[in-house]
Amino acid sequence: MTLEERIVVLSQLGKNLLQENEYRDAVIHRSFHNNQWFTAENINQSIKAIATTFLDEQKLRDFVSYYKLGDNIVPKRVGLIMAGNIPLVGFHDFLCIFLCGHTSVIKLSDKDLYLFPYLVKVLAELDERCSAKIELVAKLADFDAVIATGSNNSSRYFHAYFDKYPNIIRKNRNSIAVLTGKESKEELDGLALDVLNYFGLGCRNVSKIYIPEGYDFNPIMETIHEHKKIILHGKYKNNFDYNFAIASLNNVKIVNNGCIILLEDKTLTSRIASLHYEFYSDIASLHKHLGEIKEDIQCVVAQQDIEDLPNVSFGETQTPELRDYADGVDTMNMLLAID
């Protein structure tokens, strides 16, 4: 397939995903049965974001033009170990591999077994040649490069296995928000989505907020409470109840609105149904601190951009553009440099 043909079939996939489809509905239902964090609402949100942002034809053309892609690339086999924290979280990696003309050798996450194979099926129906560029495997073998996403613990194993190959190996990162107390209602509405989308399971979800001393929690807690239906999800509620019980038993001070718990904690990673906060007294000192831990930060939500960190507008953490690479590592550059 030529680059032009790959762009066309990807844009066709995007249009297909925006249409109603009973078979896809069945796949979504099966995915929820396999992993109850994957609600139909969350899966459809992910599919819509992929279709409108990653698979828009003009955006694809602008994306490849940045790298001056052509048809002279020697095809390679790229192993892809997908995460399963949110639906189709590894699609961007696949997209980059496909656009480069390489073959994806994909190990799916046990948490997300059905959505990507459905996309492969649709691509093959649109152009049967796509099948030769995608392999779904139980174990990686016979590859020239690797992209692997996992936890801090699994990343150590990935490095041990794959460091002799060109690779991108990702570990845990978290997203944060820096607040002033002067945020508008619209900005707080966006922040609520940044915290709660996909139940907070994505690395682009805000898991911690930095707030000025004397911060009034009422506006943010009232805004998050507008999404109180989230507590009706069984697994989320179980986590909320557990966090509340642990905090109560340990006499930990919390801010609670019935659907999320705020805890004062210096760590970036918060439990499901909770959000960490930390006070700051001087914004310059805070910016310096964030620069020191930037390797642990996926993106930052704030009114004012923070230098040397990926800044995102309120409400847009889970709608990255094609060049918003995870961990700030340019996937295309790695793929184009494979010998």
Domain boundaries, the chain: 3-172, 174-312
Q: For each successive 10 residues of the chain (339 residues), what is the average pLDDT?
A: 97 98 98 98 98 97 92 94 96 97 97 98 97 96 94 87 94 95 97 98 97 96 97 98 96 95 97 97 94 95 92 96 93 94
The predicted pLDDT at position 181 comes to 96
If you search the block for the tokens 């006499």, which residue do you land on? 251
Grouping H, G, I as helix, E, B as strand and the rest as coil, residue 188 is: helix
- Match domain 3-172 to its CATH number in 1.10.3720.10, 3.40.605.10, 3.30.70.960, 3.90.79.10: 3.40.605.10
- pLDDT tens for 79-127 read 999 999 999 999 999 999 999 999 999 999 999 999 999 999 999 999 9
**Where would I find the H helices in 163-252?**
185-196, 218-225, 234-249
The predicted pLDDT at position 63 comes to 96
pTM > 0.75: yes or no: yes
The predicted pLDDT at position 68 comes to 83
Closest CA to 218 of 245, 188, 248: 188
Mean pLDDT for the chain overall = 96
What does the DSSP 8-state code read for residue 286?
H
- Match domain 174-312 to its CATH number in 3.40.50.1100, 3.40.50.12780, 3.40.309.10, 3.30.2350.10: 3.40.309.10
Q: Is the dihedral of CA 133, 135, 136, 138 positive or negative?
A: negative
Measured distance CA(66)–CA(68) in Å, rounded? 6
CATH topology match: 3-172 vs 174-312: no
The predicted pLDDT at position 212 comes to 96
The predicted pLDDT at position 196 comes to 98
Beta bridge mates, 178:
210, 302
- Please say whether the beta carbons of 99 and 69 come within 8 A: yes
Measured distance CA(67)–CA(65) in Å, rounded? 5
- Please say whether the beta carbons of 303 and 183 come within 8 A: yes
